[in-house]
Structure 1
Amino acid sequence: MKGRQEQLLLGASGVLLAFGACEAVSRAGVVRRSYLPPASEVLARAMELAGDPVFLDGIAATLRAWALGLALACAIAVPVGLVLGSVPVVDAAARAIVEFLRPLPSVALIPLVSLLLGSGTETKVALVTYASVWPILFNTVYGLGESDPLAKETLRAFGFGRLSVLLRVELPGTAPFIAAGIRISAAVALILAVATEILSGFGEGLGIFIAQAGLATDGTRDVLAGVVWAGVLGLVINGVLVWGERRLFPWTPGRRGVG
């Protein structure tokens, strides 16, 4: 508990230091206010947006695409990862395809996906899903490789089949790795949801608000306020997922001693 409090204190100190530096740079005129408004004004605008129903509807649209894309990524990546990690023949057959698709940047696929699916939530969900699949998939495969071999051999010695070993030993042992992959993918999914909105320029969402503010004559403050909201969403999502991991998997090495 003490270590966690120290981390929170250090994190708060870092935020205050960055806030003060941005405020001082802008107030001192080192950077023109049209390029970098004072941090206090950006924060005030971000809090003002919290009472804007249209802005909140955009936040909700972004979070819907994020949640749908992440859920689909989990539904695809976990079963596929279990198969790839459990059946060497399938892994060898699919390895070339996986290694070909993995490096493709999701943002570069926006024109193609937009052409196929049109504008709206479908495009965002498709791109979020594609980008979010990989961390979960590879964490699942890696987790299977780290399963306790003694426990698996013991079950086999008692006559348990391949499926029973998977369900009783490998899947529980892989669950913390899957959870870590989901946490990584959650951040990737949020980035893709906002970036797709910014680059595509259609629909509604936090990215649309940022893109439209960037086109305004004096929209830097709104752009930065939108960025603050994106950061807050990422921070909250990560915090919730970390809390869930600590509660679900307290025995993992990274969670031992955490009160």
Structure 2
Amino acid sequence: MSLFSLENKTAVVTGGASGIGEAISKAFAGQGAHVHILEFNAENGERVVGEIKAKGGKAKFHACDVSNNVQVTEIISAIGTQSYINILVNNAGIAHVGNLEGTAEEDMDRIYNVNIKGVYNCMHAVISKMKEKGGVILNMASIASSVGISDRFAYSMSKGAVLTMTYSVAKDYLDNGIRCNSISPARIHTPFVDGFIKKNYPGKEEEMFEKLSKSQPIGRMGKPEEVANLAVYLCSDEASFITGTDFPIDGGYIKLNG
């Protein structure tokens, strides 16, 4: 068996049809996993599944709003009746730009429902079955969970919660053979970043892209595939001694910025 193989593993990836999630779905399928993509955007979900299958991989799309507990529970239960869920990747999330004064109550509710409750819903739905034979839960946090970033009040709050939920689950389920870790990316070049720049800096797209890239000490944004490679390792048997740990993938941002 090759290193970092996910052969015969069933993986659930939320938000698995765009950006980092898409890269993770494709990387997992490339390593032999049967990937179940839980995604709000049906068009993207079907596209990514088609691209995975075209390369000989195994994947299935499930239309899902992770903030809907009933929906998540039904989908996870249906997947679990077909095969044992070995891996859960909680990647689905939304962003918000604004400081405390620029964050309305509805903004807080929206961020909470997707970024915090969504992670809870998925972990809660899978944990009782995963206790039977063990497994891996990988949560997508952010550097915003551990360092101050301007105008990211609600987003930072939510990712801080993801980080501490990770530690809690890792501690509580050690004896069940369940490993729980998180990844904290810095700026990663995804379609979301391009859309954000286009919306907020019309006519200055190239200038802002360069500025955001240079804000990373390493001099560029990360690539979704680089995060996906780390996710493959952390969900593989080669990482069997790792749990309760957060992995920054940040181009030196946390330790070298300032």
Settle same-fold status: TM greater than 0.5.
no
Bigger radius of gyration among the two: 1
Considering fraction of residues, name the structure with more helix: 1
